[in-house]
């Protein structure tokens, strides 16, 4: 299977930028997910961080993003 993306620049520059920066965005989300997991393990009150981490994943899923499917 092949996919080809075509953009009419400069009109579609915002769409192109999203496409072009998607790997960076994925990497940032994955890094932040790992950061939250680490903080949860190290925190004196891990419940608060666990709530934050769950909300982070809920927000991603609400927007159709599942990090486990992408990494």
For the segment 8-13, the average pLDDT, to the nearest whole number, is 94
Cβ partners under 8 Å of residue 48, min gap 6: none
pLDDT digits (tens, 9 = 90+) for 35-69: 888 888 887 777 888 888 888 889 988 988 888 88
CA–CA distance, 18 with 25 (Å, rounded to integer): 9
> What is the pLDDT, as a whole number, of residue 11?
95
> Which alpha helices (H) appear in the chain, and where do they start and end?
13-42, 46-62, 67-70
> What is the pLDDT, as a whole number, of residue 8?
96
Confidence tier at 6 by pLDDT (50, 70, 90): very high
User: Under a CB-based contact definition with an 8 Å cutoff, are residues 35 and 28 in contact?
Assistant: no
For the segment 9-19, the average pLDDT, to the nearest whole number, is 91
How do the domains of the chain map onto residue ranges? 15-70
């Amino acid at each position: 299977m092949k996919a080809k993306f075509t953009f009419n620049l400069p009109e579609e520059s915002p769409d192109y930028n999203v496409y072009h920066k998607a790997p960076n965005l994925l990497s940032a989300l994955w890094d932040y997910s790992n950061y939250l997991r680490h903080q949860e393990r190290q925190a004196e009150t891990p419940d608060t961080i666990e709530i934050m981490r769950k909300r982070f994943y809920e927000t991603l899923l609400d927007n159709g993003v599942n990090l486990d499917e992408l990494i």
